[in-house]
Chains A and B, each alone.
Chain A
Amino acid sequence: MQIEVKNAPSPPLPRCRGRGSRFGLSLLFAKRRSLASPLPRSGGGTGRGLLVAALLATLIAPAHAYKVYVSNEKGNSITVLDTEKLEATATVKVGRRPRGIALNKDGSELYICAGDDDAIQVLDTKTLKVTGKLPSGPDPELLALSPDGDVIYVSNENDNLVTLIDVKKKEMIGDIPVGVEPEGMAISPDGKLLVNTSETTNMAHLIDTQSKQIVANILVDGRPRFAEFKKDGSELWVSSEVGGTVAIIDPAKRELKQKISFDIPAMSKEAIQPIGISFTRDGKRAFVALGPANRVAVIDAETKKVEKYLLVGQRVWHLAFTPDEKYLLTANGVSNDVSVIDVASLKVVKSIPVGAFPWGVVVAPQ
């Protein structure tokens, strides 16, 4: 197996200077490496573009067809869907193992975490051509954009780091050491607080975007994969895949407020694995994807009670609303399709075939 040593700006693990530590040293000096061709893995959260901006834009725009982008982890492609026809209109070959995706402010560019290419690719959404790439560090998985669209924050799963990228200059401008296997990324609506979840450390790391320092570490249940702020910034929700719960965090007090758990009749607790989370704009309702339970939970975001479970495709990972909130789209990793939920009636109205292992989903603002 070819193992390539890459530039090592910041080793992820604490440096060990102990003597006579013949095992510890090799481990702790582990540099940022990347296997020549690591195989795909399952699951994870998706990056969201400037959903807030997107939603604002729709207030003045008339209701019409939106473009949806779906990353296909094993298909090495992006499928483009049209929400009027509810069908795929294009498939674009991109880098290897695309997972987290996000749109820029005006929807002209799609940023794609191509994990096996160790880069974030930039896709021009008009021409559907890859126009370039951003340096992301090894194995980028999920990304979040600053509200002004200038900085991308990306989790590097193998390195226990969050990397900061200047979008205009296309340069790395720093990194922040976090826990083991960082994944979920979210940024507060005011852009001041970044949150990263680490899957093996089981923490949500709250990071001040000004000082680039961790200001709080909040323990949550096993394997936290995704984080999402309410649109007014009052709450931060973190899903724990293996713990089977969603943690609700008060971002101002920086503390855990409560946990939501799920109970589906005739389904084992172990099969209920929350991942993707989406809030309606008014903050009244939340939708949580439950992975291999093949369901999306509909939650009253005020009382935190589960109202309903909607049956969707197999191993549902990530979710995205259309800007008019008519539809909620779900990426279903095992059944290779996208389920379309009609939000008003809470019914699944269609499933659209996409590429292999659909992972992330975002909807363009217009």
Chain B
Amino acid sequence: MRSLVAAFCLVLFAAPVAAETVNVKVGVLRETHARETLSILDIPAADDTLAGALMGAADNNTTGKFTNQTFEAIDARLEDGDDVVAALDALLDKGALFIIADLSAERLLAASERAKPKGAVLFNVSATDDRLRENDCRANVIHVAPTRSMLADGLAQYLIWKQWRRWLLIKGSHPDDELLAKAFRNSAKKFGAKVVEERVYEDTGGGRRSDSGSVQTQRQIPVLTQNAPAYDVLVAADENEVFGGYLPFRTWDPRPVAGSGGLMPTSWDASHEQWGALQLQNRFTQTFRRLMNARDNAAWLAMRMIGEAATRTGSNDPEKLRPYLLGNDFSIAAFKGVRLTLRPWNQQLRQPILLSDGRMIVSVSPQEGFLHQTSELDTLGADQPESKCKLK
């Protein structure tokens, strides 16, 4: 663990009422994400994720002036080999009973186990693994990040709306690429698309942003995509920044690309401006001098959920806040055009999925006509009847 920074603030205004100030401490437990991205625009900043949490804390503190509550973000950043349990212990020692977790699935489960006896609640802001909401779901983990299946369904609904039903699926050679490919296969089945062929792009370790990269890539991608059966759209499953971004404009057949390149499903994008999102983007850019990514946004939203629950319950006790968040009274505005709520059976935040080409939001799913008896947002991802989650 490199740093354990307490980003905190003593609020100095005179309290308007005599009631005691309630302080809500929130740990930000975050992994260091790889800098080896295909596009330099995607290289994570030093305050990746943390910045969103700080923005959320500032929003909550403005509200807290009127409710006599203060919010504090405590940063714990992990390097590759660092022990997540030790970092969590340090946060718990500082009194943080709410943890914004930007962690891989394995680390998240280890942190959940450790947090259990202390009664702390974790907010998963980056792990998209479906298993964390299914067989491996945990009662003390609330999922703000969407699942792979939600992202895949969000994309699939749009491709169906476009009548692009024949997909050429190309996946990377890493285990998580297969998980994403599986989500795309399931979405195809669910909404009536057909995977006409599946191919693998082997990660041989070369290429990324090297001097001769564009020359190499320009030759490799047509070879990868030639002799394919007739297809409407290439769907890429690459979670490791190996080839997804290289696909558009380089395929053998002139076809659009979606998934991990081209049209990408995401929970947030810096180009999203609808429904007042511009206000949040502006506030973020003015404060942190960079654009807000999906992890920053999820951390902001997690902090806002904690703030909303603290405001409505007048408490900082996880045993009061968690039931409120899972109850019928909770909903939160997140600049997505609709209120967001939690799926009580697996503690996953319901949310629209943005489809971004990297410069613009092309569409937002759920698409018109995809109906559901409870909430149209539940047409995205695994639904209650198929859930394997037993919260404990």
Interfacial residues, chain A to chain B (CB-CB below 8 A):
1, 3, 12-18, 20-24, 26-28, 30, 33, 35, 38-43, 157-158, 160, 177, 179-181, 198-203, 205, 214, 217, 219, 221-223, 241-244, 268-271, 292
Of the residues B5, B277, B377, contact of A23 by C-beta under 8 Å: B5
Asked whether B5 lies within 8 Å of A22 as measured between CB atoms, the reply is: yes
**9 additional A-B residue pairs with CB within 8 Å, beyond A14-B65, A18-B9, A222-B331:** A16-B10, A24-B7, A24-B9, A28-B9, A41-B277, A41-B278, A177-B65, A268-B376, A269-B375
Of the residues B54, B62, B278, B308, contact of A38 by C-beta under 8 Å: B278
Of the residues A12, A39, A180, contact of B278 by C-beta under 8 Å: A39
Asked whether A21 lies within 8 Å of B62 as measured between CB atoms, the reply is: no
5 A-B residue pairs with CB within 8 Å: A18-B8, A21-B7, A27-B55, A30-B287, A42-B274
Residues of A within 8 A of B51 (CB): 23
Residues of B within 8 A of A268 (CB): 375-376
Q: Are A17 and B377 also in contact (CB < 8 A) when A23-B7, A38-B282, A223-B333 are?
A: no
Residues of A within 8 A of B50 (CB): 23
How many of chain B's residues have a CB under 8 angstroms from any CB in A?
Answer: 52
Asked whether B286 lies within 8 Å of A222 as measured between CB atoms, the reply is: no
Residues of B within 8 A of A202 (CB): 63, 308, 311, 333
Asked whether B62 lies within 8 Å of A180 as measured between CB atoms, the reply is: yes
Residues of A within 8 A of B339 (CB): 222, 242-244, 270
Nearest B residue to A214, CB-CB: B66
Residues of B within 8 A of A199 (CB): 276, 333
Q: How far is the CB of B346 from chain A (nearest CB, A)?
A: 20
3 shortest interchain CB distances as A-B pairs:
A270-B338, A16-B9, A242-B333
Per-residue A-contact encoding for B42-82, CB less than 8 Å = 1, 0 else: 00000100110011011101110111000001010000000
Residue B279 lies at the interface, judged by CB distance under 8 Å to chain A: yes
Q: How far is the CB of A325 from chain B (nearest CB, A)?
A: 32
* CA of A180 to CA of B285, assembled, Å: 16
Interfacial residues, chain B to chain A (CB-CB below 8 A):
5-13, 16, 47, 50-51, 54-55, 57-59, 61-63, 65-67, 73, 75, 273-279, 282-283, 285-288, 304, 308, 311-312, 331-333, 337-339, 375-377
Asked whether A219 lies within 8 Å of B12 as measured between CB atoms, the reply is: no
Asked whether A17 lies within 8 Å of B12 as measured between CB atoms, the reply is: yes
Nearest A residue to B16, CB-CB: A214
Q: Are A23 and B47 also in contact (CB < 8 A) when A41-B278, A158-B279 are?
A: yes
Q: How far is the CB of B184 from chain A (nearest CB, A)?
A: 26
Of the residues A1, A181, A241, contact of B279 by C-beta under 8 Å: A181
Residues of A within 8 A of B67 (CB): 217
* CA of A1 to CA of B47, assembled, Å: 20
Q: How far is the CB of A333 from chain B (nearest CB, A)?
A: 11
Of the residues B7, B65, B66, B275, contact of A43 by C-beta under 8 Å: B275
Nearest B residue to A31, CB-CB: B286
Nearest B residue to A44, CB-CB: B276
Nearest A residue to B311, CB-CB: A219
* CA of A200 to CA of B333, assembled, Å: 8
Of the residues A23, A35, A243, A271, contact of B331 by C-beta under 8 Å: A243
Q: How far is the CB of B89 from chain A (nearest CB, A)?
A: 21
Asked whether A270 lies within 8 Å of B6 as measured between CB atoms, the reply is: no
Asked whether A16 lies within 8 Å of B11 as measured between CB atoms, the reply is: yes
Q: How far is the CB of A289 from chain B (nearest CB, A)?
A: 16
Q: Are A35 and B7 also in contact (CB < 8 A) when A179-B62, A270-B375 are?
A: no
Residues of A within 8 A of B47 (CB): 23
Nearest B residue to A215, CB-CB: B16
* CA of A40 to CA of B274, assembled, Å: 9
* CA of A35 to CA of B62, assembled, Å: 21
Asked whether A1 lies within 8 Å of B61 as measured between CB atoms, the reply is: no
* CA of A269 to CA of B338, assembled, Å: 9
Asked whether A1 lies within 8 Å of B273 as measured between CB atoms, the reply is: no
Asked whether B274 lies within 8 Å of A242 as measured between CB atoms, the reply is: no
